[in-house]
Amino acid sequence: RKEVEQDPGPFNVPEGATVAFNCTYSNSASQSFFWYRQDCRKEPKLLMSVYSSGNEDGRFTAQLNRASQYISLLIRDSKLSDSATYLCASYGGSQGNLIFGKGTKLSVKP
Amino acid sequence: DAGVIQSPRHEVTEMGQEVTLRCKPISGHNSLFWYRQTMMRGLELLIYFNNNVPIDDSGMPEDRFSAKMPNASFSTLKIQPSEPRDSAVYFCASRTVSYNEQFFGPGTRLTVL
C-alpha cells in the first residue's frame, strides 16, 4: 500500500458546485497533513495545513479522521479558478520529509 | 522576499550527457529537498538535507544521481550519464526545521533525448 493515496480524478464539476476529495495515509504516526495546489506547469503551493481535527479557510475546509486515516478537502461554491491538481501530503514521525499523493485533478466548467 | 530559486528552468540534453541542476533555498531555511515529478509516478522525494547534511537519499534512483549541498545557500543535483527515462520536472523545496510547510521552487523541466 502506498503511503499516501488519492483518487486521481479528474473531477469535472460546474461552477458553484461543492466538491470533496479524500486522501488516505498509511503511517499512523503522521502528525501533520497538508493540501497543496498545483497549476499546470507550475510548482505546488500550500493551500491548507491540517494539524488537528480540521481547518477552514473561506470556501475551503480540510478535515482529518485519524481513526480511518484519511484527510479530506471540501471546496464550496467552486470557481473556474479552482481548476488545478490538488496534492495531499503527510508529514510523519521521525521522518523530516513530506510524502505526497499523486494528486487529484479538478476541472471547474462554466 | 525571494522564493526558492532553481536553474536552469528548462534543459534539453542528449542521452549520455551530464546534467547539473541548481537550487538556492530561501534564506534562513535549513532543510532542503529535491523532488522529481512525472505523470506516472507523481511527486517523488529524491534526497533531503538538514543543515547541509544529507539525511535520506533512499529516493535517489541509482548511482547516476548525486546531490551536494556545500553551504546553506546552494545545492546541486547531478545526473551522469543522463538517460531518456530521467526526463521529468525536478523541484527543489526548502523549509525551516520548526515549520512543516515546504516552499517549492519553480522546477527544472528536463528532457533527455
Q: Looking at the complex, report in whole angstroms how far the Cα of residue A92 sits from the nearest Cα belonging to chain B.
A: 10
Across the interface, whether the CB atoms of A43 and B50 are under 8 A apart is answered no
Q: Please state, in angstroms and rounded to a whole number, the distance separating the CA atoms of residues A73 and A86.
A: 9
In 10 A of CB B89, how many CB atoms? 18
Q: Region B75-97: what's the mean pLDDT?
A: 95
Q: What is the mean pLDDT of residues A93-106?
A: 81
C-alpha B20: how far from chain center: 10
Contacts of B44 by beta carbon, 8 Å cutoff, 6+ apart: B35, B36, B37, B38, B59
Contact predicate B25/B32, CB 8 Å: yes
Contacts of B41 in chain A (CB under 8 A): 102
Lowest-confidence pick of A41-50, B1-10, B97-106:
B97-106
Give the mean pLDDT of A97-101. 87
Average pLDDT, rounded, for chain B: 93
Q: Given this model, what pLDDT does residue B1 score? A: 64
Optimal mutation site among B4, B35, B43, interface A, most CBs of chain A within 10 A = B43
A27-40 pLDDT, tens digit per residue, is 888 888 999 999 99
* A–B CB contacts, 8 A cutoff, strictly below: 46
3-state secondary structure of B41: coil
Instruction: Work out the pLDDT band at B101, boundaries 50, 70, 90.
Output: confident
Q: Is A82 helix (H, G, I), strand (E, B) or coil?
A: helix
How far is B23 from chain A, CA to nearest CA, in Å? 14
